[in-house]
Homo-oligomer: A and B are copies of this chain.
Amino acid sequence: MYIPILFYVHMAQSAETSPGVSFGTDDETELILQSLEEFVEQEVKPIADDLGETLTNPRLGHEPNGRLTDEVLEARREVRRKSAEAGFYAMNMPEAVGGEDVSAVTWYRANKHLAKQDVPLASNVLAGPGGPKPLLAQAEGEQVERYLEPAMRAEKTTAFGQTEPGVGSDSPNMETRAERDGDEWVLNGQKQWITNAPYADFIQVFARTTPQEEAGRHGGITCFIVESDEYEIGSLNNAVGATGMQAEVHFDDVRLSDDRVLGSVDNAFYDAMSFLGLGRVEIGATAVGHAEWLLDEATNYANEREAFGEQIGQYQAISHKIARGRANALAADTVGLKCAWLLDQGEPAIAESSILKWFASNAFWEIADDVVQIHGANGLAEENPFMDRLHRARIQRVVEGTDEIQLNTIAKQYGVEM
């Protein structure tokens, strides 16, 4: 027999209950967001203003091969260093390594908040793929002083060397190999689409150290720290919308001692997988932030621009695009918060972070497309930022696992046998 509900309710009220649902913003996060905004205004904006059009005109700020110019690189460095000094840059890292140990929820909100600032260079305030991530927190012995600490202080930047030309999404099939020779490792292979590679001081490179047949598909991969004078940068992989950010990297008989192994031998793929959720939370946060900013811009435009004698916001072809965008952005935001909360509970959030990646990227993409359309020919004009955002959104649906790979993961995680 079921027991009437009254019993439960009264029992529950007398006991200590576990926390239920909340969408509040705790004081700490509130203060951080406010402080970030002030930091951008007072520290980042002057640097960006100094550079002016260099940061927004696609024919400026880059070498012919796409590489960022020295003056842009220096500006980015300065922003990062100031942010590290102020305690923002890698505040999600553990206190033990010099971070602030802020929660994933706070980190999500901070990333989203920055993406809503219409100040070039603001994206450098929080550590992105070039900054220290939990993988690097595994640093031991001399690695701490040489790599982890300078990365935390933004004095050095890094990169993750995983993607390869031949294998794409099928990364366990990588061809980069490190073989034992005496008490050293010899690393050979080629990576591509490596973010921050052209500017990094060192790269965290994934290489197969034990064959799949012995170690299994995901075993047998080790992460090595390789310094910039030990590898060659090949062609830049200039994605439209992210020119100069990625490049090919060549490793040609690079000899590395054991103290270059980050974490434990043969285990790097598992380590990396356990931090995957965090990367997706960052992507989701950025997508939602950009989306909300675009919707604000579109709303202003819809209220100002007139056609056929009316503000264009009066036409449902305009206002309903904004409304759908708001609905999808809000949904993406709540999914982002759920993912971040799960990470804070120590859950891997594999399904949820794939859902966030897919959902938020697609919401951003559709919103960016609609906001271009709302602005008409002005939406296409280079001097406005809308096509730039559309390019970024388009990239988001491919990098860090394409839409299709995310859907595969979601289906599997929910029990579809594939």
Contacts and interface: CB of A to CB of B under 8 A. Distances in A.
Interface of A: 1-6, 8-9, 11-13, 15, 17-29, 31-32, 35, 38-39, 42-43, 85-88, 91, 100, 102-103, 105-106, 295, 299, 302-303, 311, 313-314, 316, 318-320, 322-324, 326-328, 330-332, 334-335, 337-338, 340-342, 351-352, 355, 358-359, 404, 406-411, 414-418
A88 B20 CA distance: 20
Contacts of A8: 28, 31-32, 35
A5 to B, nearest CB: 4
Contact of A87 (B6, B22, B29, B320): B6
Total identical chains: 2
Nearest to A358: B327
Nearest to A337: B21
Closest 3 CB pairs of A and B: A12-B28, A5-B87, A334-B334
Q: Do most interface residues of chain A lie in helix, strand or loop, or is the interface mixed?
A: helix
Contact of A20 (B25, B324, B334, B358): B25
B323 A35 contact: no
Given A17-B27, A25-B20, A38 B2 contact: yes
A37 B313 CA distance: 47
Contacts of A319: 407-408, 411, 416, 418
20 contacts: A5-B88, A8-B31, A12-B27, A12-B28, A19-B22, A20-B106, A23-B341, A23-B342, A299-B414, A303-B416, A319-B418, A320-B407, A322-B416, A323-B409, A323-B414, A326-B351, A330-B352, A331-B332, A334-B335, A334-B338
Contact of A322 (B23, B24, B414): B414
